Structure 1
Amino acid sequence: MRHIPVVRRRRLGEELKRLRRKAGLTSGQTARLLGWHQSKVSRIETGVSGVKGEDLAVLLDALGLTDPQARSLLSALAGRGADGRGWWEAYGGAIPPRYRDFISLESQASTARTLETSVVPGLLQTREYARAVTRAALEGVPAAAVDALTEVRLARQAVLRTTTPLRLHAVLDEAVLRREVGGPGVMREQLRRLSELARLPQVCLQVLPFTVGGYVGLAGPFVIFSFPNINDLDLVVLDHLTNSLYLERREELEAYGAAFRTMCAHALSTDDSLDLVADIRDGIRDSA
């Protein structure tokens, strides 16, 4: 069985444990129903091991889960898409494991709430801006790798254009709009693109102006993913230069959710945010 990222195995295991308890079964009773060893149920529920597609199907039947959307989500968490693969797997070693994990979660999420303090969110970047960000963040990386990672960044944006698109609520520090990544021309086009995408019904954009001063999220960016039908699968991702940290405990989720709501309350309205984006874009001048 192919590798399934640890964070997805853990989230799947937690939900399967919740469903088992809701069904009034112990892990031993579940194992006997299926003809499994109890240790197999325990390994799946703790995320120590993944679960084959056919095993997941009979397990969900035993637990009484009939909702097709919920079953589909759990199948996706088990790494079982429509063709058994995620599009990102075609990029192989060009994508670090943690980044593959992030992309897989993003592709399954129904909502993403994100704070960005330095750069435009990846889902809203233009090609040239994405290339400039990648070059700056990974100085010294071969051009071919930069090209591959740029293509991955652009491919991720398909989640905003599906039949049931990801709902993205992005809060940006004003510094994101004023930092001329890639030069004046690249930045003007990026801000134009940002204004265009912010008018999509599935995208909400707010800007935290400098006049707010210090705020609760100033320490760094984060993303909160929510998933369809199963609220307990919410997840916070903290992005670092070489790694990502996943937060799953209820108190952590509540703290970040409260922080995001506070920032939204202090940020400009969506209309005022778009006005600020346009003003900054119009004020960008080419270098002499």
Structure 2
Amino acid sequence: MTFEPARLGQSRSDLAEALRSLRKRAGRTQTWLARRCSMSQTKVSNIESGKLTPAVVDVELILEALGVDDPAAAQILDLVRTANTEWQDHWSSRRRGLDKKQNELGRLEAVATEFRFFLLSAITGLLATPDYVRASIADVPGDQSKTIAKKLERPSVLYDSSKSFTFLLMEQAVRWPLLPPLAMAVQLDRLASVSRIPNVRLGVIPLAGRIPEMPLNTFRVYDRRLATVETGTGALILRDHRDVNAYREDFERYESYAVFGDECRELLNEWSVLFTRQRE
């Protein structure tokens, strides 16, 4: 399947039209199809009207019920995978206002219960000090006071005991000098503090020894429903269960190289001291 960002928004309507056409050609009603797939008729209607993006498993059930064989089935499954992928470019996000993005993240954090963050080159807002938050968006023009305020509100979710968080930070993410040395030392102390929250696991992958992996992107996985992957110009939002599971598996491999608990805090303290000495 060729990846074309411009097609992502159109794929849902293409998928809806294709599934509707297949059902009609088969001479079946929505009620019949819903019964065969153990769905409600309303769900089938919403899929065929483009109001609802179906999961891959939903489409697989529909194709099986309608007796659709390759290569038509393969083309439909390509469409559903694209329909479950969203592209959010940085420029559009900035035009809408970064505070809107914070609202979206807040809603996602409210409904998800299991969070996995792989941080390749920077510290996420949930772990950041106010100075780090401000520095992370310093290149964005205009008044960002609303965005900063919302970013500083979001870490309260870490104290919700019904949720679990695992953060994996590469050493370069922790030590990248985004701030002056003393402020960086404070940021590292913040990481050590968060690592003591009972429902938070915070690990660091040190750049020592052999790591036979080559991570390319920062990514986050929310439950089994969603993965987000950051690039230099935007982010991919992936809902296909195969994509989400692939990133969960990647996360588990990277997790095996991380240090946690006291060993992690010892490293953070060592690096914090180095930043403090730079100021002397």
Structure-1 residue corresponding to 2:236: 245
- Pairing 1:183–2:186 present: no
- Following TM superposition, the consecutive aligned residue runs of length 4 or more in structure 1 with deviations greater than 6 angstroms are none
Provide the C-alpha distance between the structure 2 equivalents of 1:276 and 1:149, rounded to a whole number of angstroms.
31
Where structure 2 has 5 or more consecutive residues not aligned to the other structure, the ranges are 1-8, 13-33, 55-94
Secondary structure of the corresponding residue to residue 211 of structure 1: coil
* Larger Rg belongs to: 2
Where structure 1 has 5 or more consecutive residues not aligned to the other structure, the ranges are 1-5, 10-23, 49-91, 227-232
Structure-2 residue corresponding to 1:79: none
- Pairing 1:156–2:154 present: yes
Q: Is the CA contact (8 Å cut-off) linking 1:191 and 1:281 kept in structure 2?
A: yes
Structure-1 residue corresponding to 2:124: 121
CA, structure 1 residues 242+279, in 2 after alignment: closer, same or farther (shift >3 Å)? Answer: same
Q: Which amino acid aligns with 2:122?
A: V
Structure-1 residue corresponding to 2:86: none
Deviation of 1:251 (Å) = 2.2
Deviation of 1:273 (Å) = 1.2
Secondary structure of the corresponding residue to residue 237 of structure 1: strand
Secondary structure of the corresponding residue to residue 255 of structure 1: helix
1:20-62 C-alpha deviation (Å, 9 max, x unpaired): xxxx83589844xxxx7963464477339xxxxxxxxxxxxxx
Provide the C-alpha distance between the structure 1 equivalents of 2:101 and 2:113, rounded to a whole number of angstroms.
20
Under a length normalisation based on structure 1, what TM-score does the superposition of the two structures give? 0.63
- Aligned with residue 47 of structure 1, among 15, 34, 53: 53
Secondary structure of the corresponding residue to residue 153 of structure 1: helix
Structure-1 residue corresponding to 2:71: none
- The sequence identity of aligned pairs, in percent, is 22
Q: Is the CA contact (8 Å cut-off) linking 1:94 and 1:148 kept in structure 2?
A: no
RMSD (CA atoms) = 3.5
1:62-89 C-alpha deviation (Å, 9 max, x unpaired): xxxxxxxxxxxxxxxxxxxxxxxxxxxx
Structure-1 residue corresponding to 2:197: 200
Q: Which amino acid aligns with 2:260?
A: S
Deviation of 1:280 (Å) = 0.6
1:171-222 C-alpha deviation (Å, 9 max, x unpaired): 1101122212211121111111111111000110111110145553520110
Q: Is the CA contact (8 Å cut-off) linking 1:236 and 1:246 kept in structure 2?
A: yes
Deviation of 1:236 (Å) = 0.8
Provide the C-alpha distance between the structure 2 equivalents of 1:249 and 1:257, rounded to a whole number of angstroms.
13
Deviation of 1:286 (Å) = 4.0
- Aligned pairs, how many? 213
Structure-2 residue corresponding to 1:94: 97
CA, structure 1 residues 28+174, in 2 after alignment: closer, same or farther (shift >3 Å)? Answer: closer
Q: Is the CA contact (8 Å cut-off) linking 1:217 and 1:259 kept in structure 2?
A: no
CA, structure 1 residues 37+214, in 2 after alignment: closer, same or farther (shift >3 Å)? Answer: closer
Provide the C-alpha distance between the structure 2 equivalents of 1:158 and 1:120, rounded to a whole number of angstroms.
16
Q: Is the CA contact (8 Å cut-off) linking 1:115 and 1:217 kept in structure 2?
A: no
Q: Is the CA contact (8 Å cut-off) linking 1:212 and 1:266 kept in structure 2?
A: no
Provide the C-alpha distance between the structure 1 equivalents of 2:213 and 2:254, rounded to a whole number of angstroms.
7
Q: Which amino acid aligns with 2:183?
A: V
